[in-house]
Amino acid sequence: MKRLLTALLLVAMQVNLHAQDLKLTRENIPEIIAALTPEEKVDLVVGCGAGWGNPDAKFPGTAGWTRAVPRLGIPSIYFADGPQGVNMAQAREYDTADYSCTFFLSGSTLATSWDVEAAHAIGQAIGYELKERGLDVILGPGMNLHRSILCGRNQEYFSEDPLLSGKMAAAWIRGAQSNGIATSLKHFAVNNQETNRKENDSRVSQRALRELYLKGFEIAVKEGNPWTVMGSYNYVNGIHACENEWLLNDVLRDGWGWQGVVMSDWDGVVRQANAVSAGCDLIEPGTEADREALLAAMEGGALSMDALDRNVRNILELVVKCPSFSGYDYSNDIDRKEHQELLRRVAAESMVLLKNEGNVLPLKPGSVGLYGVSSYDLIPANMGVNGVNNGVYHVSLVQGLREAGFTVCPSVLREYTDYIAAEKEKIASAYPSVYKQFFRYPRPEEIIPGASEPMSSSVALGAMTVDLGLKQTAVSNRQSLKEQAEANEAAILTLSRGTGEAFDRSASEFELTPSEKTLIDSLSRAYHSFGKPVIVLLNVPAPIETVSWRDKVDAILLVGQPGERAGESIADALTGTVAPSGRLADSWPVHYGDAPADKNFPSEVGQDLKSLITPRATREGRELVRNIDYTDYEEGIYVGYRYFTTSKTDIAYPFGYGLSYTFFNYEKASVEASASGFVARVSVRNTGFRPGREVLQLYVSAPAGGLDKPVRELKGFAKTRLLAPGESETLEIPVSLQDLASWNEKKACWETARGIYHFCFGLSADMMQTDCSVRVKNAYLYGKQD
């Protein structure tokens, strides 16, 4: 190997002698590639390691950077995690400056806004902060489909529906990249569970792949054009996502016409040469072992220079677009006020009003009893890697309510704050090293205690979830509850669930705990006996059980994970200062287990996880474990509302559901033919007494055309501006013939069947308001080339 490398080096050096002044420009990438030595090329396709835990990192606490080749004017470019904000250390050891960035709302909360302009604005704000902090690539948006309500990263992703996910992601990307920085659309693809995420094989039909799991990415890629895409950890039908030529080349590049850099997820590459050859341009975060493996593969012939050159070209084409290349003079001083105001409004608008019996909301400022641990310790965001550092602080609910003119009942407050302080102390003495980060939602590696603590990482996360999120201790005794109910105008109870990367939620987290149920019973008995309402805030990343208790309370507001202005956003929505106009981005089942995907999801793995996970290499000769080593997507395309509406299974709250503080009428609905297909149009009038925004959801029922079809599918959506009472707005939604197609596995192409299509504007996937039908005269096939 040494001889070959020396020979190659000599050739390269000769080239270099003639090219001593050669420096990278936008125009000379081929020349630069010719001037790079083989080792330098390998350097470029392997990252420099992660920025966290590295005192020499230029940007401490960030995800990584690429290697520079100064002699050819190739700079490093720098990555920070998203998608909830720019994830970097807020403080540095060597100065006293504040490096905080705005901690925005989670993807699943942004999705309930159904507002692509909001997604654009949030992306734009995050991209701006990234650029002004000196970095080049934001690792987001995340957009894997919510196949199961228990996936541990659903909060980072948008929805169970690919159209909603794809449109939100595309807008976010366009917003972020309008700053001249790169996004990384992740995790490509079919990364729908966290359990054994690096080994699990997602086994999925071509049709479900095309219509669901790749569809959102296709929309985001074609309409957003992210400069980079991140390959996922899992296998897809037996081939690792980062080694999957079909995924990376046939589908992503040739099929969708995308040109950009594919980077691996962090430590996601299994066989380096296979990944590089398959079109995974950049191995992240990159180790010396990765470099050596690639050099050995070149020597042994397993990695061709052509493949390496192709990847280097993709990387250089990215580099020349980035701020680090142009030497952008970043300010490192971001005025976050404007972004915080944006966040406050978007988060409030994204909240979903699930119940509002007797119009108890909007609530007039007065005295409220605030119950539940998380009323005093909200979970503003994702608890995993992606977006933690900046989430250490947030506006508390107490502060938000006080600013809005409420009095928070002091005796309830004292009970809970004393309780929380006592719990903290217990945890501090049981797990001293965990404690420091405990109440700020630690990164997994911070709580995976190099074995100094007697617990595994899953126990640590579990403990955190149980003690912080789930335990809604009914601290009040009956007498004091009665007094509180008499003294206050309303009870507000917050129910929370936390979740984060690397772990899925378990089925039991879907249920309410006995203490949560007891608390709801006691509150409703006490407050209702004085004719006072009980309002429940759901500070959850994904659906939880609601049917057994919702009749006992008056109002339910899904607040999701609203980011750092949490308390203010919630107060705005409760008081109607901002009209909550969110709609569910997922179906909320009656029971866990109602969705067919639940049968093939590791919902009960819990603490046994470790013993079940074994590296692929050691699997030989043993039987593979279902849902651990592989997961069969037996439900095919019947995910979320596609299943619930078609099978007519009872549902707690359907996809698209959400109430308003006002009412809307749908008038003059129509569908007309257009050059590419159809345009659906409707006027929406605010017929109530308060201002509000309506989400228009366009569902289409398609003729079977020889395939099995869901009853209806979302084919477009739009959101009105804020309409004053009496005001109306006409909106139109284009739907192309291609948008109406299903994947025909036999013909291996998209097919729009001939026949009658019903275009319906619905209040949710379950409730149609209008119905216009059109005929497609001839079947239409496309996409054979993929």
Tokens describing residue 429: 């003495």
**If 0-12 CB within 10 Å is exposed, 13-18 middle and 19+ buried, where does residue 624 land?**
exposed
Minimum distance, C-beta of residue 63 to ligand BGC, in the bound complex (Å): 4
Minimum distance, C-beta of residue 271 to ligand BGC, in the bound complex (Å): 19
Residue 161 vs 501, nearer CB to ligand BGC: 501
Binding track over 483-522 against ligand BGC, x by CB under 6 A: ------------------x---------------------
Which residue from 78, 158, 266, 678 is in contact with ligand BGC, where contact means CB under 6 A? 266
List the interface residues with ligand BGC, window 236-255 (CB under 6 A): none
Task: Tell me the backbone φ, ψ of residue 159, rounded to 5 degrees.
Answer: -160, 170
Minimum distance, C-beta of residue 647 to ligand BGC, in the bound complex (Å): 33
Q: Does 652 bind ligand BGC (CB under 6 A)?
A: no
Q: Does 265 bind ligand BGC (CB under 6 A)?
A: yes
41 beta partners: none
Residue 66 vs 744, nearer CB to ligand BGC: 66
Binding track over 177-216 against ligand BGC, x by CB under 6 A: ---------x------------------------------
Burial 180-218 (b: 16+ CB within 10 A, else e): ebbbbbbbbbbbbbbbbbbbbbbbbbebbbbbbbbbbbb
Residue 78 vs 431, nearer CB to ligand BGC: 78
Minimum distance, C-beta of residue 123 to ligand BGC, in the bound complex (Å): 16
Residue 457 vs 728, nearer CB to ligand BGC: 457
Minimum distance, C-beta of residue 286 to ligand BGC, in the bound complex (Å): 12
DSSP sequence for 745-782: TTTTEEEE-SEEEEEEEEEETTEE---EEEEE-S-EEE
- Active-site position among 43, 81, 161, 265: 265
Give the single-character DSSP code of 122. H
Residue 277 vs 386, nearer CB to ligand BGC: 386
Amino acid at 228: T
* C-alpha torsion 78→81→86→92, nearest 10: -70
Which residue from 251, 385, 495, 519 is in contact with ligand BGC, where contact means CB under 6 A? 385
Residue 81 vs 423, nearer CB to ligand BGC: 81
Residue 284 vs 739, nearer CB to ligand BGC: 284
Measured CA to CA, the distance from residue 83 to residue 106 in angstroms comes to 8
Tokens describing residue 722: 């804020």
Which residues are CB-neighbours of 618 under 8 A, at least 6 positions away?
A: none
Query: How many residues in the shown chain lie near ligand BGC by CB under 6 A?
Result: 9
Q: Does 715 bind ligand BGC (CB under 6 A)?
A: no
Minimum distance, C-beta of residue 189 to ligand BGC, in the bound complex (Å): 13
- Identify whether the C-beta of residue 363 lies closer than 8 Å to the C-beta of residue 574: yes
DSSP sequence for 363-401: PPS-EEEEESHHHHS---S--SSTT-GGGG----HHHHH
Q: Does 343 bind ligand BGC (CB under 6 A)?
A: no
Residue 440 vs 709, nearer CB to ligand BGC: 440
Residue 107 vs 563, nearer CB to ligand BGC: 107
Residue 51 vs 762, nearer CB to ligand BGC: 51
Minimum distance, C-beta of residue 242 to ligand BGC, in the bound complex (Å): 12
Q: Which of 316, 272, 266 is nearest to 293 (CA)?
A: 272
Q: Does 386 bind ligand BGC (CB under 6 A)?
A: yes
Minimum distance, C-beta of residue 165 to ligand BGC, in the bound complex (Å): 16
Report the first-to-last Cα separation within the chain, whole angstroms: 39
Q: Does 431 bind ligand BGC (CB under 6 A)?
A: no
Q: Does 139 bind ligand BGC (CB under 6 A)?
A: yes
- Identify whether the C-beta of residue 544 lies closer than 8 Å to the C-beta of residue 538: yes
Which residues are CB-neighbours of 92 under 8 A, at least 6 positions away?
A: 60, 99
Which residue from 45, 63, 316, 776 is in contact with ligand BGC, where contact means CB under 6 A? 63
- 695-701 and 755-764: which strand pairing? antiparallel
Which residue from 40, 81, 115, 751 is in contact with ligand BGC, where contact means CB under 6 A? 81
Binding track over 84-123 against ligand BGC, x by CB under 6 A: ----------------------------------------
**If 0-12 CB within 10 Å is exposed, 13-18 middle and 19+ buried, where does residue 560 land?**
buried
Measured CA to CA, the distance from residue 447 to residue 610 in angstroms comes to 16
Task: Tell me the backbone φ, ψ of residue 651, rounded to 5 degrees.
Answer: -135, 145
Minimum distance, C-beta of residue 265 to ligand BGC, in the bound complex (Å): 5
Tokens describing residue 81: 């995690």
Measured CA to CA, the distance from residue 69 to residue 67 in angstroms comes to 7
Order of strands, sheet of 742-744, starting from the edge strand that comes earlier in the sequence: 742-744, 749-752, 780-782
Q: Report the phi/psi class of residue 642: left, alpha or beta, with left for phi > 0 and alpha for psi in -120 to 50.
A: alpha
Burial 417-451 (b: 16+ CB within 10 A, else e): eeebeebbeebeeebeebbeebeebbbbebbbbee
Catalytic, 265? Answer: yes
Minimum distance, C-beta of residue 220 to ligand BGC, in the bound complex (Å): 15
The residues annotated with a catalytic role in the active site are 265
- Binding residues vs ligand BGC (CB under 6 A): 63, 81, 139, 186, 265-266, 385-386, 501
